[in-house]
Amino acid sequence: MTTIADVLIIGGGPTGLYASFYAGLRDLSVVLFEAQAELGGKINFYPEKMVWDVGALPPTKGKKVKEHLIEQAKLFDPTIYLKTKIIELTKEDDLFYAVDDQGRTHVGRTVLVCIGGGVVSPQKLPCFIHNNVDNYIHYQFPDQQAIQGKHLVISGGGDAAVDYAIEAASYGAKVSLCYRGEKLKAHEAQVKKMKAEGIQVLMNHTIDGVNQAETFNMVLRLKNSANQETIDFLCDHLLIQHGYDRDSALLDKVSFDLARHEDFYLNCEIPTKTSHPGVFAAGDIHYFKGKVNLLAGAFQDAAQAVNQIKHYLEPTSVPQAMVSSHNEKFSERNRQLLVNE
């Protein structure tokens, strides 16, 4: 027998995670899909950066904010699929059918689109990589304890690459940066700061292969793009910052019309309500006048979208959930927390 969810949430970033939690408050069953191998969305790109702009939350590392969001999202036992990309969305008899990239079909009474700027994947290193060094190749900033006292090579010449080079050096890593071009693309002030830190910069070099090494974790085959000469370069960790591929094909593969803003964002005359009944949007993917593109704004969007969904499904329902401080859903959990104080 096919299970029909109250809401299919597409996207497991901050918006989708908070929507999962708030939907539980509103007694809505949730199925959440995340195309990547882990939840968190854009926060995964800055795990060691401090987040300052969430109300009442002290400066907190991105990875810790993500942990809290995931824990909160799972509070009411949603069904969560990782490494699951929705590739087709159709509607029939007031039900939505979402087909994933593994051939499964999921059925929901409503859809909440929380895909941010689309499915974002880091551009991979296009060369031979020995299997035994996979754990030392990173596409997101590695844990600071893992690189402390180690040699980290960063491949890339943009703002992120240079910022990460400076940050890694502050954690006690020996840092080298290699870039294929003759001039770094990062802000000039940051480039000067990086050079002042004594960080080695290898211009006109690309990574042509990655192998195991005896004294270090890996040896990079670096190729000089100017004269085609190659050198072997030993290091412990490699951070790739070559940019990201963005996939928003889902919005072009729905069986109904969705009004767009700037040919991409979902245009919502009323915040979170798209042009098609039963389809809602929250976070960076949706546009309305006055939209706030912050984490705090994402949480507001998520709550508003869920309230709209609840009203769509049950027109006589109350406009919003009871505040958590007086909500009976938390009574037992509150008692447990008080006992453990």
Q: Reduced to 3 states, what is the DSSP secondary structure of residue 234?
A: strand
Instruction: Give the other-Cβ count within 10 Å of 50's Cβ.
Output: 12
Asked whether residue 291 is marked as a ligand-binding residue, the answer is no
Asked whether residue 269 is marked as a ligand-binding residue, the answer is no
Determine the Cα–Cα distance for residues 109 and 29; give it in Å rounded to an integer.
10
Let me know: does 167 contact 48? Beta carbons within 8 Å. yes
Asked whether residue 15 is marked as a ligand-binding residue, the answer is yes
Token digits for 148? 């402390």
CB environment 122-159: b (16+ within 10 A), e (fewer): beebeeebeeebeebbbbbbbebebbeebbbbbbbbee
Asked whether residue 192 is marked as a ligand-binding residue, the answer is no
- Helices 14-25 & 62-73 angle (0-180, nearest 10): 30
Asked whether residue 232 is marked as a ligand-binding residue, the answer is no
Q: Reduced to 3 states, what is the DSSP secondary structure of residue 27?
A: coil
Asked whether residue 49 is marked as a ligand-binding residue, the answer is no
Determine the Cα–Cα distance for residues 133 and 210; give it in Å rounded to an integer.
8
Q: Reduced to 3 states, what is the DSSP secondary structure of residue 300?
A: helix
Residues 3, 69, 16, 326, CA torsion sign: positive
Cα 332 to its chain centre, rounded Å, is 32
Asked whether residue 34 is marked as a ligand-binding residue, the answer is yes
Determine the Cα–Cα distance for residues 243 and 231; give it in Å rounded to an integer.
25
Binding residues for FAD: 15, 34, 42, 46, 86, 284, 325
Binding residues: 15, 34, 42, 46, 86, 284, 325
